[in-house]
C-alpha cells in the first residue's frame, strides 16, 4: 500500500508541475481559470513534496526497525543459560 501512495504522490506532483510550467512558459497566465488552477498547483507541489519526503522517511525507518539484518553488529550479545 505504501508504494501505491508514493506513486500517486509522484503523479500528482508531475501534473502540478505541468500547470506551473504552462503558466511560466505558455499562455496559462492569460486565462483566469488556468491562472487559478496554477495557483492551486503551486501550493499542491509544496505540500506533495513535503508529504512524499515524510512518507518515504517513515517507510525507511519502519524497514530499518523491522529488518534484523540492517543493523548487524549493533545488537546486544545475549547468552541463554539453561539449567
Q: Do residues 5 and 51 make contact, with C-beta atoms less than 8 angstroms apart?
A: no
pLDDT, tens only, 4-50:
877 887 888 888 888 788 777 877 778 888 888 888 888 888 888 88
Report the alpha-carbon distance of residue 76 to residue 83 in Å, rounded: 22
Position with higher pLDDT, 47 vs 81:
47
**Residue 4 C-alpha from the chain's centroid:** 11
C-alpha triplet 21, 27, 29: angle, nearest 5°: 80
Amino acid at each position: 500500500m505504501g508504494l501505491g501512495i508514493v506513486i500517486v504522490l509522484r503523479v500528482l506532483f508531475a501534473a502540478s508541475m505541468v500547470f506551473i510550467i504552462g503558466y511560466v512558459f505558455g499562455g496559462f497566465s492569460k486565462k483566469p481559470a488556468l491562472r487559478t488552477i496554477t495557483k492551486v498547483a503551486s501550493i499542491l507541489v509544496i505540500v506533495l513534496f513535503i508529504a512524499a519526503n515524510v512518507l518515504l522517511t517513515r517507510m525507511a525507518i519502519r524497514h530499518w526497525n523491522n529488518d534484523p539484518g540492517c543493523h548487524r553488529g549493533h545488537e546486544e550479545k545475549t547468552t541463554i543459560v539453561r539449567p
